[in-house]
Every structure is written in C-alpha cells, then in structure tokens.
Chain A
C-alpha cells in the first residue's frame, strides 16, 4: 500500500486538520519553529512511506508494547501509517519461512533506502548462541540488515546501550547496536520503555527534512533528551527548599516533596517524561510518587541501586574499618620506634662536666 500518507489517514477517518494539529504539537515538542509544523504536515502528507524493517533481538517486547498501546491510537499509532512496516515479528501475520522471506524481499527491493529499527541488545558470547532467529545469531542478522539500511533507529535502552541484558555480570556478553555497526547513522531512543512520541518525532523529522534530528553525545535526539528530569520536574522547587520525602508514606511524600533522598535519579537522567508525560499526559513516574530510575541512561541498572540517593556511596565502604586498624597499627608502631629512638638518644647522652670544659 504505497501512496501519500494523507490518503491513508483519510481512509482511517483522520482529517487533514487533525493531522496539521498533530504536526504543530509535534514540532513544538521537538523545539522546532512553529512554521516547521506546517512544513512537516505538507512533507509527510505527500511523502512516499519509507520501508521499515523492525528486528527484535534480546528484548522483552516492552518497547513494542509501549507503541502499540500508546494512548491515542489514531495519532501515536500514526507511526505505523507513516511507514511501510515490512517486517515486525510481533505484529506481522506471516511466520516462519514466510516471515524471513518477507524480510529478504523488503531488503532487496529497498536496498540502501529502508530504515532499520532494532529493539533489544545483541549477545556476543558463545558466538551469539544466546539469541537466534531462524537458526541465525542476532549479530549475523543485524550485520546483514544494516548493510542496506539508510539509517538505524535503536529503540529502547537495550538496543541503545545494552540495557538490562548487559547489567553486571552480563552473562550473554550483550552489546548495543552502536557497538557493532559503525558505518551507518544511528539514532538512540533509550528508555525502558521509550516515550512513543519520540519515535514519531524522529520519523517525522526524517520524512520532512530527509535527515535524522540533531543528536547529543550519546546519540539521542536533543529535542527530547536535552534536559534532565530533575530540571523539568514539577517537584524541583521542593529540592531547592530542602524539602524531601524520607519514606514513601511520610508527610513529605503525601505533600509531594522531592524524592531525591528516596533514590530519584532525575538529576542525572536525560529524558522528556517530565514534560511529555505518559499515557496521553495522564501522569509519569515522579508524579505517581516514585523516583526516576534513570532508565534512559547507559548502565542505569548498575548505578548503585534504585533506592539509594545519588549523594550516597554506591557500595558499602568495605575497607574503612580495616584501614583505620592498619593506620592505628602503623601509628602505634612508629610511635614505639620514635620512643626507642628517644630512649636511645637519652641513654647515649653524656653529661658535660666542668672538667670537660676546662680541658
């Protein structure tokens, strides 16, 4: 089904004005100038939908769930109308050899032009035997699919940074997409799961401007990952006033004070939850009373515990007691050495007599 997006939308009862309105909001969320909303709408309405191949690797399907269950199906689900989704194991009807054949057809017909979406990390240990599809390792499939891709979108923290499979001790030797593929543009959309609108925004940008949006040092779109949760948090004034919830059900927690002391990782987490929110703007983790886990940051799983405040030691101080004992021992030993030196000097001391001086 190839054709202008606006026709596809019209068939689903999405009017042009609904689409324009959506694009205006999308442009605003991406911090683009207001005129870009109109440009986006025009470009996307007329665009030939790009072929997208979506490969699931070592993942939990939570990222796919996040999109397919997003709150306004006609709009967030628009990503599925904006693209021609040629391979997605969870959503496609085909299975087995037919599914594999569909992927190969899409890759051949759109060589050099398709977008590759990856969710899940790639295990490298045991020659990648930890995760295989159709008897082939994830590494093998990724390399083959990346070959003809125009760009790669790493969906979720696992594909972006290795995520939970990579958590210490990383039993499968999991790595991220960018650890393997070096010669293609890669956008990371981390989060566990990521915010659905980020995906839409990236696709809209790609369709409108023919390029990927501006990325930060960790490969994330700056428009959504430009600021920390803490800086945009509605509870921030309480942090500044020094008002903290000490437990999850004390007076402070009930009054909605800052969750820093309960382990909130908001200060070191770059994501848009505080502004975009979840479930159609209903709420987000901090608003529900739980601190941020930092899920859009690399290795958030091993960052010293979810309920430990950022200013606390990540591990117990193991050497402290031993060091104090050793220090005391050394001090006492040197003290004794000094005393014996003093004693030696004292006993070696000879009294000067009048005779010595006269001699």
Chain B
C-alpha cells in the first residue's frame, strides 16, 4: 500500500506560516554590541537562537542580513555542525545538527575563531605524541 492512499494530510506547520515576528532586528543591535566588545577586550560572546522566540522567517531574515563570508567550517561530530562566517568578519552562524540531520541548537557566535574550531591543548599534545611515535617508528625502520 502506498502512503498517499491513507487519507492523512498532516499540517505540521499550520497554514499561514508565521511571518516576521519583529524579534529579529533588535538582535542585530546586540550583535553590534558584542562585536564592539570583541574588538575592545577580545572577549567572545554568543546568542542562543533556539532560546529566543524567533520564527523560521525571522531566522531567514537574520541569515540573509548577515550574509555569507569567506570561511565555512563543517564539523562531523555525531551529526553535522556548520560554523560559517558571515559577511561581517568575527560573526559566525553556528548550527548543530544530530545524526538525523535535525537542528539541535543554533547560535550566533561573536569571536575571532569559534571555540569549537580551536584544537584543545590536551588534544594537541596527544597529536604530538602520535607524531613523535610515527617518527620513532620510521627511525626504527631505517635502522
């Protein structure tokens, strides 16, 4: 039996999808504040977009206003995450997805480099160990 035989047409999004709520424009001002703080004190900050009453149209509007920058980072860590720089350097649009591709959380991050992109010193140390091990291994082979 095909699915369309079942007479169900579920409206997940109610008809007349909510448009702009007017909550997005004030966020731009907050981003301006955060960028200013980043320049002055180097302190990074973030806005949790899933914690705010924003409609899908609001998010589209924001994303369109901020535009796309030169760097787009994709992170594969139990689902895909994208950390994309916007047209305003230092402002990043961060989206975390789960394995099924559904958005888990969404942030606007204001930082020179998002925290998640940086490698942690402990992990770097582990990498160094691996490298040294590799060299030792090669030398062992050469001898």
Contacts and interface: CB of A to CB of B under 8 A. Distances in A.
A and B pair up: yes
A22 B81 CA distance: 11
B105 A24 contact: yes
B47 interface: yes
B19 interface: no
Nearest to A235: B14
B9 A255 contact: yes
A15 B116 CA distance: 12
Interface stretch (A30-38, A118-126, A327-335): A30-38
A280 interface: yes
B31 to A, nearest CB: 13
Interface in A265-303: 280-282, 287
Most buried by B among A21, A33, A38, A237: A21
B100 A21 contact: no
A72 B115 CA distance: 24
B116 A20 contact: yes
B120 interface: yes
Contacts of A6: 122
Q: How large is the interface on A (under 10, 10 to 19, 20 to 34, 35 or more residues)?
A: 20 to 34
Nearest to B106: A28
A28 B50 contact: yes
Given A24-B105, A35-B46, A254-B9, A16 B123 contact: yes
A282 B100 CA distance: 9
A238 interface: yes
Most chain A beta-carbon neighbours within 10 Å: one of B8, B75, B105, B109: B105
B10 A21 contact: no
B55 interface: no
Interface residues of B, number: 32
A74 interface: yes
Nearest to B100: A280
A20 B115 contact: yes
Interface string A1-39: 000001000000011111011101101110101110010
A14 B123 CA distance: 13
Interface string B97-108: 011101011010
Contacts of A130: none
Given A28-B50, A237-B14, A18 B7 contact: no
Contacts of A14: 78
A75 interface: yes
Contacts of B7: 254
A43 to B, nearest CB: 15
23 contacts: A15-B77, A20-B115, A21-B75, A21-B77, A21-B81, A21-B96, A24-B96, A24-B105, A27-B48, A28-B48, A28-B51, A34-B45, A34-B48, A72-B78, A72-B98, A72-B99, A234-B14, A254-B8, A254-B10, A280-B100, A280-B102, A282-B100, A287-B12
